[in-house]
Structure 1
């Protein structure tokens, strides 16, 4: 048996994860966002700075600019999965069960029958 000398990567350097961002602004209710990434979490958080639901939430609800520090401090990994298809299933299950307020699903992934968009 060998001792593991390799350090565990920082959470932002992990890939293939389901993550949750919680808005901690004082005037904000329990608003959160759940997402998944196959790249590193750091890279995905960078994308959130450019566009998307989290950026829109901070702009519309708090009239503030989303910062990298806010993203990193309020993002936590809630699950890990190396299989890409299973990762998508997990994300959908977490969104369906936790119903995060910031998530705005605009396209039908048709993964789970209960998540199909209704006309």
Structure 2
């Protein structure tokens, strides 16, 4: 490997390290905000429900959530989540355009519902 090739390679490596350092710093700041937020620990269940309604908005879907101290079971009677659905749920990324979104009504109990 020539000196120029090695030098160029190290420049690229340094550039990648700078990017990785910035990402790590920003992720640390975001984690800190999440840990302080009273809402974040509760948000994941609504994200699951929203994902089901996104793929079944025209037909509706039934969802069953079984909470036990050892686990939480989430089931629905619609199409399975795609790999994209699962990855974007984990990363909390939405591909939907904000304009024109329909409201969804989720019936929680016999006498209660939640709009989102």
| TM-score (ref. length: structure 2) | 0.27
Higher RCO by CA contacts (8 Å cutoff, separation 6 or greater) = 1
| TM-score (ref. length: structure 1) | 0.27
In terms of fraction of residues, the more helix-rich structure is 2
